[in-house]
Amino acid sequence: NAGVTQTPKFQVLKTGQSMTLQCAQDMNHEYMSWYRQDPGMGLRLIHYSVGAGITDQGEVPNGYNVSRSTTEDFPLRLLSAAPSQTSVYFCASSYPAQGGAGELFFGEGSRLTVL
Amino acid sequence: SQQGEEDPQALSIQEGENATMNCSYKTSINNLQWYRQNSGRGLVHLILIRSNEREKHSGRLRVTLDTSKKSSSLLITASRAADTASYFCATDVGSFGKGTRLHILP
C-alpha cells in the first residue's frame, strides 16, 4: 500500500500565485487533515475532514481552502500565496477514534517556498 | 493554540541511557498519542494511550497518562543512535506540541 501520498514534494511560488497541494490515501480512512510545520512552532492544524463532503477549520485556516469530494483525496488550496505561508505541509489520515482522530498516518511532506 | 506541550525542548543523552520526555495538555481528551519525526521526514505513530489507561508499553517505549494533571510521559529505555529524532505528543483533536528533540550520543 502507498499510504498517504503528497504532491508536489517541493514548490516555489511567487507572492500572489495560487496552487494546490495534493493529498491522497489508499487506506479508506475517513479522517484527513493538513498541518503546517514551521521551525520552533511544531505542527499546526490547518483544516481537517471527518468524511467526504465534510470539512472544518483547524488552528490556522486563513489563506487556505480545502474540499473533500472523495474519501481518498483531500487537496489544500492556497488562494493567493504570501511569504508567511512558506512552510512544510503535511497531510495525515486516520480511522476516526472516539471523540476525534485515531492513529495518524502522515505523508512525507510538501516543502513550499513563497518569494 | 496548541493543545500539547512537550518538555524538555531538547535532550542529549548517551547511548544506552533512558530518555524521558513529558507532555502537558489543556483540555479533556479521549486519547493521547506520541509520534516520532526523523529529520526531514513525515511523522510516525509510536503509541496511543486512552484516557482510561494509566500506562502502556510497546517494546522499549513506556507511556504514562495522568488525566488529573493533564500530563503524559514517554520513556525510551536503552536508547540507540537510531532513536535520535524529534518526539511529539498529540491529543485526539489532532493538536500537536512543539516537540522534544532527542539526540543520542555515541
Name which residue leads in pLDDT, B89 or A95: B89
Nearest of A81, A31, A24, A4 to residue B41 by alpha carbon: A4
Q: Give CA–CA dist A24/A72, Å, rounded.
A: 5
3-state secondary structure of B83: helix
In chain B, the residue whose alpha carbon lies closest to the alpha carbon of A41 is B98
Specify the amino acid at residue A115.
L
How many angstroms separate the CA of residue A6 from the nearest CA in chain B?
11
pLDDT in tens, A34-55: 999 998 778 999 999 989 999 9
Residue B1's pLDDT is 46
B87 touches chain A (CB under 8 A): no
Mean pLDDT of all residues in A2-25: 96
Average pLDDT for runs of 10 along chain B of length 106? 76 97 90 92 93 95 96 97 95 84 95
A85 phi, psi to nearest 5 deg = -95, 5
Per the CB < 8 Å rule, is A44 touching B96?
A: yes
Average per-residue pLDDT in chain A? 92
Reference A109, options A28, A8, A26; nearest CA is A8
* Lookup: cell for A103: 492513529
Per-residue pLDDT, A98: 54
Neighbours of A35 (CB within 10 A): 27
